[in-house]
Amino acid sequence: MTTPFPDVTVTVIVHNDAERLPRAIASVRAQTHRDIEIVISDDHSTDATPQVAAELAAQDDRIRVLRLERNSGGCGAPRNRALQTARAPYLMFLDSDDELPPRACELLLAAHAESDVDFTMGAVERVRTDTGDVSAWMAHLFARRRTVRGIEDEPRLLFEPLSTNKMYRKEFLDRHALRFPEGVHYEDQLFSAQAYTLARAFTVITEPVYRWYIAPYAPSGAATISNRRHLISNVRDRVAIARLIDEFLAGHGVSDAVREEKDHKFLSHDLRLYAGDLPYREVAWVEEFAAEVLPYLAELSAAAFRRMRREERVVVGLLREGRYEEARLAARGLGRGVGPRETVTDGDGRTYWGSALPRTEAGRDDLDLTELDLAGCPFGSARFRHEITRVGRGEDGAVELGLRTYDPGRRLPLAPLPARLHVSPAGRRLTVPLRMDPAGRGVFEGTVRLDVAAASLPAHGFRGVRHPVLEVTDGRTGNTGVLLAPLHFPPFEVAGPGRHRVTVEPEGRDAGRLQLRWQPGGVVGRLLGPVVQKGPMRRAAKALVRR
C-alpha cells in the first residue's frame, strides 16, 4: 500500500505517447528506493494514453494520474500541475520517452542526506534509438562528486539545463515559488537557471540518474522540441527564454562572469544548433531566422563572442552582413575544419571569408580569418574544401564522383595533385587513388570511381553508414578532409561485397557529406549483423577484432 507521505514524488509527463509510457513507468517502479509516489501528468492526450495510464495505476497503488483539461502544448503546465499535488518532500521529473536507471532515486536521495542542499543532480546517459549506442551527456561536468555553494562558484554549470536529472527539495521550490514557464518551449532552461541561481548549495554526483533516448533521424513532425528547429516559432521560443534568463540574472545581481557564461552557452550551443541546420534551409528562412536572432546577439557580451570558434563567428558575420546564401555555405564547415571557397585581403593584409570585404565593423570582426593562417599553418591542419560536383552510378555498378577541391591558402602547387579517397566500413579501409588537376586559382578538379564491392568485410558483414573522405598531400604530409555532397540528389543502390547492398545518398543533416548506407544480405548477415553491431555487442566485437 502507498504511504501517506512518501520520500520522493516522481512526475512523469506524457502527451500522446501510449506506446512508450509503460517503459518509463516501469523504470520508476523498478527503483531500488521503494517509498515513492508516481504521478502521471497527462497533457490532454488524444490517443490511448489515458487508458494506458489508468491500467498502470491499477497495477500499483503508488501511481496517481492527472489529466489537464486542455492541451498546453509544452512541458511546463503538466509539470506544474503535478507540483501542486506532490506529497513528498523531494521531487523528480521524467519524460514519457525516457527512463530512470534503477538507483536514480536512491543515489540522489542519499546525496541529500549527506549535505544540506536544495537539490542534487547526476549524470545523464544518452541512448541512440537507431544504434543503441550509449554516450554521456556533458560528461566533463559530472567527472567528480562535489557540493557547489551557488552558481557563482561554478558558472559553467549553466551549460547543463536539464530539469530531469535532478532531485529538488520541495520546500526550496515552494519558498521561491519556482515553477516552469508555460506557453513557451525550452522551459527547462529558465527553470534550471533560476534553480542554479536561487540555490544556497547543490550536490553533483558522478553516477547516471537519467536515461535520455535520442532519435537523430526522427521526422520533423516528431513530438520532441529538438526535432522542430525548422519552425521559426521554435527559434522565437529559444530567444524568448534566453531573454527571460537574462532578466532573471540581472534582477538577482549575479556577477559578470555568470552572465558571460550564459552568453557563451547561447552562442556555442543554442545558436550553434540552428547554424548547423542552415544549409538545409531556404534563403528566405535564413533571412527570417536572422531577423529573430540578430537583435538578441547584439545584447550579448563581447567577451562571449571572443570565445566562439572562428567558423561559428563567420556564420554570424555573414548573417549580419545579409549574405544569407554564403551563410548557408559557411555553415557546412562547422566542426569539420572546412575552409571557404575563396578569401579576400584588405590593405592591411588581413584575410576575410568570401570574395568581398565586409561592409561593417562587426562583420570585419566576425569574418576575419587572419588568425587561422591559411597559408602558413601546418599542412596537416590546412583548411581545404572538398566538394562533390557530380555523383552517379557507373555502368559497372561502381560509384562515380566528380570532385572539386578549393585551396583558399594557396598551399598546393599549380600542378597535377595526387589524392586518395578513403572509406572504412567495419573499420577496414578501402582506398582509391586519383589525380586532381588545376582548374583555376586555388581550385582543383578530378574524377574517381569507387567500387564498394572491393571492400573487405568481416564474416558477419557490416550494417551502418560511412562517409568517404579525401586525402591530399604536399609530397610529405597528408591532409584528410570531409567530402561535401550535393544536399539533394536521388539516392541509388550499388552492389557491395558478398550480398551487401549499399545505398548512396546525401547525409541529409550536419555538413551534408556523401553517405554510404551498408546493409548485409544472406542468412549470416541478416541474423548476426544486427546483433553484433548494436551497443555492447558491437563494442565487444571491435575489441575482439583488435585482439
Question: Are the CB atoms for 212 and 107 separated by under 8 Å?
Answer: no
Spell out the domain ranges in the chain: 8-214, 229-372, 380-520
Question: Are the CB atoms for 379 and 385 separated by under 8 Å?
Answer: no
Give the pLDDT score at 509. Answer: 85
Mean pLDDT across the chain: 92
Question: Are the CB atoms for 189 and 160 separated by under 8 Å?
Answer: no
CA gap 534, 8 in Å, rounded: 35
pLDDT (tens digit, 9 = 90+) per residue, 209-230?
999 999 876 655 555 555 678 9
Q: Across residues 128-135, what is the average pLDDT?
A: 89
pLDDT (tens digit, 9 = 90+) per residue, 3-50?
578 999 999 999 999 999 999 999 999 999 999 999 999 999 999 999
Give the pLDDT score at 542. Answer: 47
- Is the pLDDT at 545 greater than 50? The verdict is no
Sequence letter at residue 137:
W
Q: What's the pLDDT band for 532 if we cut at 50, 70, 90?
A: very low
- Is the pLDDT at 1 greater than 60? The verdict is no
CATH top-level class for 380-520? mainly beta
- Is the pLDDT at 540 greater than 70? The verdict is no
Give the pLDDT score at 218. Answer: 61
CA gap 543, 507 in Å, rounded: 28
Q: What's the pLDDT band for 515 if we cut at 50, 70, 90?
A: very high
Say if domain 8-214 classifies as CATH 2.60.40.10: no
**SS3 of residue 347 by DSSP:** coil
Which contacts qualify for 180-183: CB closer than 8 Å, 24 or more apart? 180/75, 180/76, 180/77, 180/79, 180/80, 181/76, 181/241, 181/244, 182/72, 182/74, 182/76, 182/77, 182/80, 183/72, 183/73, 183/74, 183/76
Give the pLDDT score at 522. Answer: 66
Closest by alpha carbon to 120, among 130, 109, 131? 109
pLDDT (tens digit, 9 = 90+) per residue, 146-162?
999 999 999 999 999 99
Cα dihedral 14/15/18/19 (nearest 10)? -80
Give the pLDDT score at 523. Answer: 56
By residue count, the chain amounts to 547
Residues paired with 215 in a beta bridge: none
Q: Across residues 460-489, what is the average pLDDT?
A: 94
pTM for this model (two decimals) = 0.88
In the chain, % of residues over pLDDT 70: 93
